[in-house]
Structure 1
Amino acid sequence: MGSKGTAMAEGVAARAAAVAILDGVLGEGRMLSDFAGGDLSPADRARALRLAETVLRHLEPADRLLDRHLRKAPPLTARNVLRLAVIECAEGAPAHGVVNAAVEIVRKGKRTAHLAGLVNAVLRALPETGLLDGASPQKMPRWLRQPLVHAWGRDVVSQIEAVQATEPPLDLTLREGFPAPEGELLPTGSLRLRGAGQISALPGYAEGGWWIQDAAAALPAVLLDARPGERVLDLCAAPGGKTLQLAAAGARVVSLDISGPRMARLEANLSRTGLTAELVVADALTWEPDGAFDAILLDAPCSATGTIRRHPDLPFVKDGSEVTGLVDLQARLIDRALGWLKPGGRLVFATCSLLSDEGEDQLSATLDRHPDLTVERIDLPGVEPNWWTTSNGLRLRPDYWADRGGMDGFFLARLRKPA
């Protein structure tokens, strides 16, 4: 096979893998993070994931276009091949190569080979340009969209959906005095990159001068404001961006998480940055510390609905049924954490959720159980006054900084224990 044939085969391999990923997400409820890559090269694995993510961000508009040319719904795999082809053509890929690859993928499948003619006919019937121009952004599922419309109105929710439909930039948390890549310095201090390329080749990586962390995810540690020498607990710590922030501030950090494999990632990042923390793999509901803490950061398990811009598979693998159990778990973790604080100590509670059940309402319930707590609002660089709630919680939304690429949705609150 010549070089042209090899390139074609590699292109088909990445596309076929993208279709398999979509089958797993949409047919089996599997997360994108479950995709191992098999025998793919690193470049093909990265391409397959990017293609699958892009399809998931535009699934609804792609289906609206395809349904005009389909008499009945094809099997899932064939539909995913068609969706992928639509998205690639909408991104400007040469239509001839996209159609040929799509037909080849379908033809090679035992259950889809008979649909090769259909796929070819549908794709050749599509417009050559402007496939998704003017299409409205994909909507969030009803179980999530409805409470958000009730809380913020349809215009805000539509703006959030528009941000979620775009590929997010990459944010870095920087350390003073270390090299860093060129990028946009955000008002809160994070560095935003677009088209970053190979992460390990960027300036400052080898020196441990920064780590990947969404700008919104960096704010809980900023709100905690750990001081040098303080004994600080990072509760539910993995994969560890907040532990790195706390350690870089000079705190004596204990990092606890229930997941050993995720804590291994934190250990690797500590090694790369030269920072130190005591790592504990344990269940926070049964673990007991050997002493009280000056401050605790609890980034609690949650629905992760604030991270859809970076994890477009979430709306397809979750149905909201887990939220009630997560709210209960968050409350139990808050109560345990408060018991580990020194008098006058502070706790930052955070969730990367858009739902008030896991944010504003959770704060209200906490104050009902612990009326002696104070909710502290402090000045944070780059944080707009209207991001604060009337209860002194900090509500972050994906539509904030929409012109810059948005941010993850979060809710934060800083609680002070009486002295």
Structure 2
Amino acid sequence: MAEGVAARAAAVDILGGVLGEGRMLAEFAGVDLMPSDRARALRLAETVLRHLEPADRVLDRHLSKSPPLPVRNVLRLAVVERAMGAPAHGVVNAAVEIVRKGRRTRHLAGLVNAVLRALPEDGMFDGLPPQRLPRWLRQPLVHAWGREAVGAIEAVQAGEPPLDLTLRPGFPAPAGEVLPTGSLRLTSAGQVSALPGYAAGGWWVQDAAAALPARLLAARPGERVLDLCAAPGGKTLQLAAAGAEVTALDISEPRMARLRANLARTGLSARVVVADALHWQPDGIFDAILLDAPCSATGTIRRHPDLPFVKDGSEVAGLVALQAQLLDRALGWLKPGGRLVFATCSLLPEEGERQLSAALARHPELAVERVELSGVETRWWTAEGGLRLRPDYWVELGGMDGFFMARLRRG
């Protein structure tokens, strides 16, 4: 087998699983390959998903009719690799070999060879718009922010995201760019566990936007704080590092295993509870609560490019209802005068701005608190006092995940 064919063939299979079967990329994390080939296969599949529409536009210039999905995915992979600068010889030979090995595709090996050898040497995606968001997501975002803003979001999501770290003062850290909000950004991290400070627990991986809800909550030493829907645990670590007495609750035992591992690595402590928040009862009230509620995760598409191809928006109404239930329930566990931060990693207003408006209408005793946060720009705050983050913010620095958050004070 030629060099790189195993990883490329696995990437084609992964693309088939996402585009043909509606499976998430995370389901392929254990694919049976050498670790290096597995990582490359997933990286290749992610890259294709970020550029699927431009790749199809290039291919359609050379195809009189669409080939079967496995062959189209081989072609898509080859086009994207070539557009990213991979040498033509290796890309074409690997694509032809993959197609030739398939019993149902081998007769199309000549077509694949001809199409790929007809591609231009460079500038393949020049003049083509970036991968567009699906209609069910794009329309409400255009209505909320306009076509120019959505186009900028799509351009950011077409790029490979950087790695952000939340740092603990006094610990070693890798070399990188300190962002205005204090997170450290790495553009080429390599193996995370080999970076300086990892073993000492000096930092953890957390997008700069995801680090802001805990900073908005501003937990203080000795406060009794609940991190609701806590997994995988970045916010729990922030709250514990601030000196709070943290209870971390989540319904998923496998995801909480990561939280426990990070607590052990960092030497931080929190009470870890695996339970359904809709049925769990605490043994007392809390000074502060952070609710990072389950949501559509549409703000994380740049890190999860499979989401637009797997989801269709049908789950949003149920998620909105669940968010409201969790928010109402959490408020019952908050002491008078206590504060709660509600957050979602969603771009959809119904999971953010409208959820906040509805909560204020249901609970007249609540007040929104807008507080100063280092590095947060004035234009990110909404009129009602929420903080709206979008992928097209900090474009010159590599963007950020989409989030909505608001700090509420119970009267």
Question: Normalization by structure 1: what TM-score?
Answer: 0.97
Q: What residue number does 2:72 align with?
A: 79
* Match 1:360 to one of 353, 356, 380: 353
> Aligned-pair distance for 1:38?
2.9
> Aligned-pair distance for 1:39?
2.7
Taking the aligned partners of 2:85 and 2:367, their CA distance within structure 1 comes to 54
Matching of residues 367-382 of structure 1 within 5 Å: 367-382=360-375
Q: What residue number does 1:25 align with?
A: 18
* Match 2:140 to one of 147, 150, 159: 147
Taking the aligned partners of 1:272 and 1:281, their CA distance within structure 2 comes to 20
> Aligned-pair distance for 1:77?
0.7
Q: What residue number does 2:344 align with?
A: 351
* Match 1:60 to one of 53, 60, 63: 53
> Aligned-pair distance for 1:37?
3.7
Taking the aligned partners of 1:114 and 1:281, their CA distance within structure 2 comes to 53
Identical aligned pairs, as a percentage? 81
Structure 1 consecutive aligned stretches of length 4 or more whose deviation exceeds 6 Å: none
Taking the aligned partners of 2:317 and 2:248, their CA distance within structure 1 comes to 26
Q: What residue number does 1:307 align with?
A: 300
Q: What residue number does 2:393 align with?
A: 400
Taking the aligned partners of 2:377 and 2:104, their CA distance within structure 1 comes to 54
Secondary structure in 2 aligned to 1:346?
A: strand
Q: What residue number does 1:385 align with?
A: 378
Q: What residue number does 1:333 align with?
A: 326
> Aligned-pair distance for 1:304?
0.4
| 1:291 to 2:284 alignment | yes
Secondary structure in 2 aligned to 1:375?
A: strand
State the Cα RMSD in Å: 0.8
Opposite residue 258 of structure 1, the aligned amino acid is I
> Aligned-pair distance for 1:112?
1.2
* Match 1:195 to one of 188, 211, 230: 188
| 1:164 to 2:157 alignment | yes
Which runs of 5 or more residues in structure 2 are unaligned?
Answer: none
Deviations 1:348-392 (A, max 9, x none): 000000000000000000011001101000000000011000000
Q: What residue number does 1:43 align with?
A: 36
Opposite residue 158 of structure 1, the aligned amino acid is G
* Match 1:280 to one of 273, 295, 320: 273
Secondary structure in 2 aligned to 1:206?
A: coil
Deviations 1:44-80 (A, max 9, x none): 1111111111100000000000001111111111000
| 1:409 to 2:402 alignment | yes
Which runs of 5 or more residues in structure 1 are unaligned?
Answer: none
Q: What residue number does 2:105 align with?
A: 112
> Aligned-pair distance for 1:240?
0.3
Matching of residues 202-213 of structure 1 within 5 Å: 202-213=195-206
Opposite residue 73 of structure 2, the aligned amino acid is N
Opposite residue 45 of structure 1, the aligned amino acid is R
Secondary structure in 1 aligned to 2:92?
A: helix
> Aligned-pair distance for 1:89?
0.7
Opposite residue 380 of structure 1, the aligned amino acid is L
Question: Normalization by structure 2: what TM-score?
Answer: 0.99
Deviations 1:333-353 (A, max 9, x none): 000000000111111000000
Taking the aligned partners of 1:110 and 1:358, their CA distance within structure 2 comes to 47
Taking the aligned partners of 1:251 and 1:353, their CA distance within structure 2 comes to 27
Opposite residue 41 of structure 1, the aligned amino acid is M
Taking the aligned partners of 1:189 and 1:45, their CA distance within structure 2 comes to 33
How many correspondences in the alignment?
411
